[in-house]
Structure 1
């Protein structure tokens, strides 16, 4: 496939938001069609120029598998989401270790939430600037240790301070317990909610600025209409 891969670029916050939405939209589609990618990593995320923007493409489905034959008897009884409550006999230890979910490396029973974990690691990397590969390895390894979201937010306080909602979401996506990870659909709904709030805030700003402009124009007209005193 021609074009750039995600690992070729340094990205900013606006790009990362678009990246997140497009990858999650792709995951939502394949998960709804009973497919797990199983090898999401920067080199398998391709960027295709589309006008003045990038179109994000998920590539290399060589390790992808279906999960039609569900064995839900081994799932926790309190799980309600079909995309989480799915345990199928798959190959053990497939995928790229740094990005693969823990259960994907240790067990043959896992579901689409392994892709959510991998995307979480990809996004964690995308929101950081690492000076060396060792620095990146240590940071990702720390996320993979299974600490709670609260602990990770404290350990990665600069990340949490710069991107508070993003940091919390990413650490939910990389939770050790697959049942604790949000689905692609749930994550997309969060982005829609955030975007809706931003649009509302912008509308309020524009409304306030318009009112200020009207008042300023009125004042200018009043001043211009005043006759000069001799």
Structure 2
């Protein structure tokens, strides 16, 4: 397990948003007075690798490129990524392209688009975002700013299939994302049982105790992203303490 940082961009600013509110009246947990380069430099200083920059909607390209250029190959890039623009963002310094909605179209996995983006950037530089919500005791990928359920179930068979197309998975637990209500323990357990490639979980973590619980539940197999809870994003959890804990694992 390692801690992976994040930079969420909305309207060109670094923000923390309650994930399910993107299409509605947005609930902003935090709007930073610092730009994306500040956070990229911070994560670079602390040698935190594999973090992600997510563009939430339009008008974020400039801020995203600013972050990538300040930490070349240290950050992944997601949000509106397609076969047409993925290589461009990698050239700007992104280590990996993160893809969701482009490969999950009209509620199902679009094999053609998946093959297209793999051909464009290569399996070794692709992260598939399997952000999901629970329905009837199962996990389903949600797209279109986490509002639309797909018919793609996150289970062992489907994960095994997608592992042949990508280098990593990123999984936001949308039910708890941005709410600082604790991690979605059942999802963490399931992912740890199923995945065989690097996988990052995001959603709900708010304390060092949560990090310890996550480490136990995942048997160290998964990585963890913390956003809104960190003091650098307006929360109460010390970023420096998280970095220290990360180094001690």
Q: Provide the TM-score with structure 2 as the length reference.
A: 0.23
Larger fraction in strand: 2
- How does the TM-score come out when normalised to structure 1? 0.24
Q: Which has the higher helix share?
A: 1
